[in-house]
A = this chain, B = another copy of it.
Protein backbone atom coordinates (compact mmCIF):
# COMPACT_ATOMS: atom_id res chain seq x y z
CA UNK A 1 0.00 0.00 0.00
CA UNK A 2 1.45 3.38 -0.97
CA UNK A 3 2.12 5.88 1.77
CA UNK A 4 -0.25 8.47 0.32
CA UNK A 5 -3.11 5.96 0.10
CA UNK A 6 -2.52 4.83 3.70
CA UNK A 7 -2.45 8.49 4.70
CA UNK A 8 -5.76 9.12 2.89
CA UNK A 9 -7.39 6.12 4.63
CA UNK A 10 -6.22 7.34 8.02
CA UNK A 11 -7.52 10.84 7.25
CA UNK A 12 -10.98 9.57 6.21
CA UNK A 13 -11.20 7.41 9.34
CA UNK A 14 -10.27 10.38 11.48
CA UNK A 15 -12.76 12.74 9.91
CA UNK A 16 -15.51 10.08 10.07
CA UNK A 17 -14.79 9.57 13.78
CA UNK A 18 -14.99 13.30 14.29
CA UNK A 19 -18.22 13.65 12.28
CA UNK A 20 -19.80 10.80 14.27
CA UNK A 21 -18.65 12.35 17.53
CA UNK A 22 -20.35 15.65 16.62
CA UNK A 23 -23.51 13.90 15.43
CA UNK A 24 -24.00 11.57 18.45
CA UNK A 25 -25.75 12.97 21.53
CA UNK A 26 -23.44 13.92 24.43
CA UNK A 27 -23.18 11.32 27.17
CA UNK A 28 -23.66 14.09 29.74
CA UNK A 29 -27.25 14.82 28.63
CA UNK A 30 -30.29 12.73 29.64
CA UNK A 31 -30.88 9.88 29.03
CA UNK A 32 -27.15 9.55 29.75
CA UNK A 33 -26.92 5.75 29.77
CA UNK A 34 -28.54 5.49 26.32
CA UNK A 35 -26.29 8.19 24.89
CA UNK A 36 -23.19 6.62 26.44
CA UNK A 37 -24.12 3.24 24.95
CA UNK A 38 -24.73 4.84 21.53
CA UNK A 39 -21.24 6.37 21.63
CA UNK A 40 -19.69 3.13 22.92
CA UNK A 41 -21.17 1.21 19.98
CA UNK A 42 -20.21 3.68 17.28
CA UNK A 43 -16.96 5.44 18.18
CA UNK A 44 -13.39 4.26 18.52
CA UNK A 45 -13.30 1.25 16.28
CA UNK A 46 -14.16 -0.48 13.06
CA UNK A 47 -12.53 -0.48 9.66
CA UNK A 48 -14.89 2.30 8.46
CA UNK A 49 -15.09 0.43 5.16
CA UNK A 50 -18.35 2.09 4.12
CA UNK A 51 -17.16 5.66 4.81
CA UNK A 52 -13.97 4.87 2.86
CA UNK A 53 -15.96 3.63 -0.15
CA UNK A 54 -18.30 6.61 0.06
CA UNK A 55 -15.45 9.15 0.20
CA UNK A 56 -13.51 7.35 -2.56
CA UNK A 57 -16.50 7.43 -4.93
CA UNK A 58 -17.40 10.99 -4.01
CA UNK A 59 -13.91 12.48 -4.23
CA UNK A 60 -13.57 11.08 -7.76
CA UNK A 61 -16.59 13.21 -8.70
CA UNK A 62 -15.43 16.32 -6.79
CA UNK A 63 -18.20 15.99 -4.20
CA UNK A 64 -18.73 18.51 -1.40
CA UNK A 65 -16.79 17.28 1.67
CA UNK A 66 -19.64 18.17 4.08
CA UNK A 67 -22.02 16.05 2.02
CA UNK A 68 -19.59 13.12 2.13
CA UNK A 69 -19.17 13.47 5.90
CA UNK A 70 -22.94 13.35 6.37
CA UNK A 71 -23.28 10.33 4.09
CA UNK A 72 -20.34 8.57 5.79
CA UNK A 73 -21.96 9.23 9.18
CA UNK A 74 -25.31 7.87 8.03
CA UNK A 75 -23.70 4.71 6.61
CA UNK A 76 -21.67 4.06 9.72
CA UNK A 77 -24.66 4.68 12.02
CA UNK A 78 -26.69 2.09 10.09
CA UNK A 79 -23.75 -0.34 10.16
CA UNK A 80 -23.18 0.18 13.90
CA UNK A 81 -26.90 -0.30 14.69
CA UNK A 82 -26.96 -3.54 12.69
CA UNK A 83 -23.97 -4.91 14.64
CA UNK A 84 -25.54 -4.03 18.01
CA UNK A 85 -28.79 -5.79 17.11
CA UNK A 86 -27.01 -8.68 15.40
CA UNK A 87 -24.98 -9.38 18.56
CA UNK A 88 -28.11 -9.69 20.77
CA UNK A 89 -28.85 -13.08 22.36
CA UNK A 90 -31.93 -13.64 20.15
CA UNK A 91 -29.71 -13.16 17.07
CA UNK A 92 -26.02 -14.22 16.96
CA UNK A 93 -25.59 -14.01 20.75
CA UNK A 94 -22.07 -12.62 20.58
CA UNK A 95 -19.96 -11.30 23.46
CA UNK A 96 -17.10 -9.68 21.57
CA UNK A 97 -17.05 -6.93 18.94
CA UNK A 98 -14.13 -4.81 17.81
CA UNK A 99 -12.10 -6.37 20.63
CA UNK A 100 -14.52 -5.16 23.31
CA UNK A 101 -17.61 -6.55 25.06
CA UNK A 102 -20.69 -6.18 22.85
CA UNK A 103 -23.21 -3.46 23.73
CA UNK A 104 -25.69 -5.73 25.55
CA UNK A 105 -22.82 -7.26 27.57
CA UNK A 106 -21.33 -3.88 28.52
CA UNK A 107 -24.78 -2.35 29.18
CA UNK A 108 -27.90 -4.53 28.98
CA UNK A 109 -30.21 -6.02 26.35
CA UNK A 110 -32.92 -3.38 26.58
CA UNK A 111 -30.34 -0.60 26.22
CA UNK A 112 -28.75 -2.38 23.25
CA UNK A 113 -32.14 -2.68 21.57
CA UNK A 114 -32.80 1.05 22.06
CA UNK A 115 -29.25 1.97 20.98
CA UNK A 116 -29.81 0.28 17.62
CA UNK A 117 -33.19 1.95 17.19
CA UNK A 118 -31.81 5.39 18.01
CA UNK A 119 -28.75 4.99 15.76
CA UNK A 120 -30.98 4.11 12.81
CA UNK A 121 -33.12 7.22 13.29
CA UNK A 122 -29.96 9.34 13.62
CA UNK A 123 -28.65 8.01 10.29
CA UNK A 124 -31.63 9.38 8.40
CA UNK A 125 -31.52 12.62 10.37
CA UNK A 126 -27.86 13.07 9.33
CA UNK A 127 -28.77 12.85 5.64
CA UNK A 128 -31.87 15.03 5.97
CA UNK A 129 -29.91 17.77 7.74
CA UNK A 130 -26.83 17.66 5.48
CA UNK A 131 -25.70 20.95 3.93
CA UNK A 132 -25.29 19.37 0.48
CA UNK A 133 -25.94 18.05 -2.19
CA UNK A 134 -29.26 19.40 -3.59
CA UNK A 135 -32.58 18.64 -1.86
CA UNK A 136 -33.59 16.32 -4.70
CA UNK A 137 -30.35 14.36 -4.38
CA UNK A 138 -30.59 14.09 -0.61
CA UNK A 139 -34.10 12.64 -0.91
CA UNK A 140 -32.78 10.11 -3.44
CA UNK A 141 -29.96 9.26 -1.00
CA UNK A 142 -32.40 8.77 1.90
CA UNK A 143 -34.61 6.52 -0.22
CA UNK A 144 -31.54 4.57 -1.36
CA UNK A 145 -30.18 4.13 2.17
CA UNK A 146 -33.61 3.17 3.55
CA UNK A 147 -34.04 0.55 0.86
CA UNK A 148 -30.51 -0.79 1.39
CA UNK A 149 -31.08 -1.00 5.16
CA UNK A 150 -34.62 -2.41 5.11
CA UNK A 151 -36.55 -5.57 4.34
CA UNK A 152 -35.37 -5.68 0.73
CA UNK A 153 -31.77 -5.03 1.80
CA UNK A 154 -29.73 -5.62 4.95
CA UNK A 155 -32.56 -6.63 7.30
CA UNK A 156 -33.99 -8.93 4.63
CA UNK A 157 -30.56 -10.56 4.33
CA UNK A 158 -30.41 -11.05 8.08
CA UNK A 159 -33.84 -12.71 8.01
CA UNK A 160 -32.67 -15.10 5.27
CA UNK A 161 -29.50 -15.74 7.28
CA UNK A 162 -31.58 -16.70 10.34
CA UNK A 163 -33.63 -19.15 8.31
CA UNK A 164 -30.44 -20.61 6.80
CA UNK A 165 -28.99 -21.92 10.07
CA UNK A 166 -28.71 -25.66 9.63
CA UNK A 167 -30.25 -25.49 6.16
CA UNK A 168 -28.74 -26.51 2.83
CA UNK A 169 -28.48 -23.59 0.43
CA UNK A 170 -27.46 -23.50 -3.20
CA UNK A 171 -24.63 -21.14 -4.15
CA UNK A 172 -27.26 -18.91 -5.76
CA UNK A 173 -29.25 -18.77 -2.51
CA UNK A 174 -26.10 -17.93 -0.54
CA UNK A 175 -25.37 -15.10 -2.99
CA UNK A 176 -29.01 -13.90 -2.79
CA UNK A 177 -28.59 -13.65 0.99
CA UNK A 178 -25.24 -11.87 0.93
CA UNK A 179 -26.23 -9.39 -1.77
CA UNK A 180 -28.76 -8.20 0.81
CA UNK A 181 -27.04 -8.77 4.15
CA UNK A 182 -23.73 -7.01 3.47
CA UNK A 183 -23.87 -6.15 -0.23
CA UNK A 184 -26.75 -3.70 -0.06
CA UNK A 185 -25.05 -1.33 2.38
CA UNK A 186 -21.68 -1.55 0.57
CA UNK A 187 -23.47 -0.68 -2.66
CA UNK A 188 -25.26 2.18 -0.88
CA UNK A 189 -21.88 3.46 0.37
CA UNK A 190 -20.52 3.78 -3.16
CA UNK A 191 -23.74 5.22 -4.58
CA UNK A 192 -24.23 7.75 -1.75
CA UNK A 193 -20.71 9.00 -2.45
CA UNK A 194 -21.56 9.23 -6.14
CA UNK A 195 -24.77 11.15 -5.43
CA UNK A 196 -22.77 13.61 -3.30
CA UNK A 197 -20.79 14.26 -6.48
CA UNK A 198 -23.99 14.73 -8.52
CA UNK A 199 -23.19 11.60 -10.56
CA UNK A 200 -25.13 11.10 -13.79
CA UNK A 201 -27.02 7.89 -14.59
CA UNK A 202 -24.13 6.31 -16.49
CA UNK A 203 -21.79 6.82 -13.54
CA UNK A 204 -24.39 5.42 -11.11
CA UNK A 205 -24.84 2.31 -13.25
CA UNK A 206 -21.09 1.69 -13.59
CA UNK A 207 -20.46 2.28 -9.89
CA UNK A 208 -23.46 0.14 -8.95
CA UNK A 209 -21.99 -2.71 -10.95
CA UNK A 210 -18.60 -2.21 -9.28
CA UNK A 211 -20.17 -2.09 -5.82
CA UNK A 212 -22.13 -5.30 -6.26
CA UNK A 213 -18.89 -7.18 -7.05
CA UNK A 214 -16.98 -5.43 -4.25
CA UNK A 215 -19.77 -6.27 -1.77
CA UNK A 216 -19.66 -9.99 -2.55
CA UNK A 217 -15.86 -9.89 -2.45
CA UNK A 218 -16.04 -8.30 0.99
CA UNK A 219 -18.32 -11.10 2.21
CA UNK A 220 -16.32 -13.98 0.80
CA UNK A 221 -13.13 -12.55 2.36
CA UNK A 222 -15.07 -12.31 5.63
CA UNK A 223 -15.96 -15.99 5.34
CA UNK A 224 -12.34 -16.94 4.59
CA UNK A 225 -11.06 -14.88 7.55
CA UNK A 226 -13.72 -16.34 9.84
CA UNK A 227 -12.63 -19.85 8.84
CA UNK A 228 -8.88 -19.36 9.18
CA UNK A 229 -8.52 -16.29 11.42
CA UNK A 230 -8.11 -16.04 15.17
CA UNK A 231 -10.42 -14.22 17.56
CA UNK A 232 -7.59 -11.91 18.63
CA UNK A 233 -6.78 -10.77 15.07
CA UNK A 234 -10.43 -10.32 14.09
CA UNK A 235 -11.54 -8.58 17.29
CA UNK A 236 -14.69 -10.69 17.13
CA UNK A 237 -15.40 -14.36 17.74
CA UNK A 238 -13.74 -16.41 14.98
CA UNK A 239 -15.15 -19.65 13.56
CA UNK A 240 -18.65 -18.81 14.78
CA UNK A 241 -20.40 -19.40 11.47
CA UNK A 242 -19.12 -22.96 11.27
CA UNK A 243 -19.91 -23.49 14.95
CA UNK A 244 -23.50 -22.36 14.39
CA UNK A 245 -23.79 -24.49 11.28
CA UNK A 246 -24.33 -21.47 9.06
CA UNK A 247 -23.66 -21.93 5.36
CA UNK A 248 -20.70 -19.80 4.18
CA UNK A 249 -18.69 -19.63 0.98
CA UNK A 250 -15.99 -21.68 2.70
CA UNK A 251 -18.37 -24.34 4.00
CA UNK A 252 -19.94 -24.65 0.56
CA UNK A 253 -16.88 -24.40 -1.68
CA UNK A 254 -13.93 -25.21 0.56
CA UNK A 255 -11.10 -22.74 1.21
CA UNK A 256 -9.34 -23.18 -2.10
CA UNK A 257 -12.37 -22.62 -4.35
CA UNK A 258 -13.54 -19.77 -2.11
CA UNK A 259 -10.18 -18.07 -2.70
CA UNK A 260 -10.58 -18.60 -6.44
CA UNK A 261 -14.03 -17.02 -6.37
CA UNK A 262 -12.61 -14.08 -4.42
CA UNK A 263 -9.96 -13.60 -7.13
CA UNK A 264 -12.64 -13.64 -9.84
CA UNK A 265 -14.81 -11.10 -8.00
CA UNK A 266 -11.78 -8.88 -7.44
CA UNK A 267 -11.02 -8.92 -11.17
CA UNK A 268 -14.67 -8.19 -12.03
CA UNK A 269 -14.76 -5.28 -9.59
CA UNK A 270 -11.60 -3.76 -11.05
CA UNK A 271 -12.98 -4.29 -14.56
CA UNK A 272 -16.20 -2.46 -13.67
CA UNK A 273 -14.12 0.55 -12.66
CA UNK A 274 -12.62 0.70 -16.16
CA UNK A 275 -16.09 1.70 -17.45
CA UNK A 276 -15.96 4.90 -15.36
CA UNK A 277 -14.98 8.16 -17.05
CA UNK A 278 -13.41 9.59 -13.88
CA UNK A 279 -10.44 8.79 -11.66
CA UNK A 280 -11.19 5.55 -9.81
CA UNK A 281 -7.70 4.98 -8.38
CA UNK A 282 -8.90 5.09 -4.78
CA UNK A 283 -11.78 2.70 -5.41
CA UNK A 284 -9.30 0.34 -7.09
CA UNK A 285 -6.98 0.58 -4.08
CA UNK A 286 -9.89 -0.07 -1.72
CA UNK A 287 -10.78 -3.17 -3.72
CA UNK A 288 -7.24 -4.47 -3.20
CA UNK A 289 -7.53 -3.57 0.47
CA UNK A 290 -10.82 -5.51 0.77
CA UNK A 291 -9.31 -8.53 -1.01
CA UNK A 292 -5.99 -8.57 0.88
CA UNK A 293 -7.14 -7.60 4.39
CA UNK A 294 -6.32 -9.92 7.26
CA UNK A 295 -8.90 -8.65 9.79
A contact residues vs B (CB 8 Å cutoff): 25, 30-31, 33-35, 38, 81-82, 85, 88, 90-91, 108-111, 113-114, 116-118, 120-122, 124-125, 127-129, 134-136, 138-140, 142-143, 146-147, 149-153, 155-156, 158-160, 162-163, 176
Contact = CB atoms under 8 A, between A and B. Distances in A.
Contacts of A156: 30-31, 34, 118
A128 B124 CA distance: 10
Given A124-B124, A155-B121, A113 B142 contact: no
24 contacts: A25-B151, A31-B156, A33-B159, A88-B113, A91-B110, A110-B162, A111-B159, A111-B162, A117-B117, A118-B155, A120-B120, A121-B149, A121-B151, A121-B153, A124-B142, A125-B142, A125-B147, A127-B142, A128-B146, A129-B139, A135-B135, A135-B136, A139-B139, A142-B142
Given A88-B113, A155-B114, A121 B142 contact: no
Contacts of A111: 159, 162
Contacts of A82: 117
A273 to B, nearest CB: 29
Nearest to A117: B155
Given A34-B156, A90-B110, A163-B31, A128 B118 contact: no
B91 A113 contact: yes
Contacts of A153: 121
B88 A118 contact: no
A176 B120 CA distance: 23
A117 B85 contact: yes
Contacts of A143: 125, 128-129
Given A113-B88, A135-B136, A146 B162 contact: no
**Is the contact region of chain A dominated by helix, strand, or loop, or is it mixed?**
helix
A114 B158 contact: yes
A150 B121 contact: yes
Contacts of A113: 85, 88, 90-91, 113
A184 to B, nearest CB: 11
Given A34-B151, A118-B151, A118-B156, 20 more contacts: A33-B163, A34-B159, A38-B151, A90-B108, A90-B110, A91-B113, A111-B162, A114-B155, A116-B117, A117-B120, A117-B149, A120-B120, A120-B121, A121-B147, A121-B155, A122-B146, A125-B142, A125-B146, A127-B142, A128-B143
